[in-house]
Amino acid sequence: MVDSKIIWQFVCLHFNLHLNETFKIDSMKHSLRYRITQNGLEVYDELEERWKEACSTTEEGLLEGKIKVIKLKWKPKRGEKYYTLYKPFNKPSCVTKVTWNDCSADYNRMIIGSIFKTEDEAQSAIFDFERKLIEAKEKYME
């Protein structure tokens, strides 16, 4: 028999989520927040201010692929490290690790979509970042 912890890790991979990452479910009329743990699907109870086991119908829909997951924008906490893209003059874009300080530079990076939890996520965004820079240059500088 397959360990349920392994199943939930595969479910996270399928939806491009990390364990314990908060998300919403598309087509739900409410705005509940969910997360996948090693023990299964949980929903956040706003009234009790705690995570609870989600109903089996929602869990089954997730496992059967009938539910669409909506990833939420991640915002680091003050003092937390994150990865961002940096474009040195006349050189290719690169990834750099910085600390979230709640300053304008942090929020500017968030607005342009350059806040990443992992270095791999940032690396995979470089091509799109370069393309957007070229488009902006063509539009505004020529």
Q: What is the pLDDT of residue 83?
A: 96
* pTM beyond cutoff 0.85: no
In tens, the pLDDT along 43-58 reads 999 888 999 999 888 8
Contacts of 127 (CB under 8 A, 6+ apart): none
Q: What is the pLDDT of residue 51?
A: 94
In tens, the pLDDT along 107-123 reads 999 888 899 988 988 89
The residue-averaged pLDDT of 116-138 equals 87
Q: What is the pLDDT of residue 2?
A: 62
Q: What is the pLDDT of residue 14?
A: 86
Long-range CB contacts for residues 78-83, cutoff 8 Å, separation at least 24: 78/102, 82/115, 82/116, 82/117, 83/115, 83/116, 83/117, 83/118, 83/119, 83/121, 83/122
Residue 142 clears pLDDT 70, i.e. is over it? no
Token pair 């924008």 in the structure block, residue: 73
Residue 29 — very low, low, confident or very high, per pLDDT cuts 50/70/90? low
Whose CA is closest to 64, among 92, 41, 95, 37? 41
Token pair 């009234």 in the structure block, residue: 47
In tens, the pLDDT along 33-90 reads 999 998 899 999 988 899 999 988 888 888 888 888 988 888 899 999 999 998 888 8
Q: What is the pLDDT of residue 34?
A: 92
Please tell me what DSSP assigns to residue 65.
T
Q: What are the beta bridge partners of residue 15?
A: none
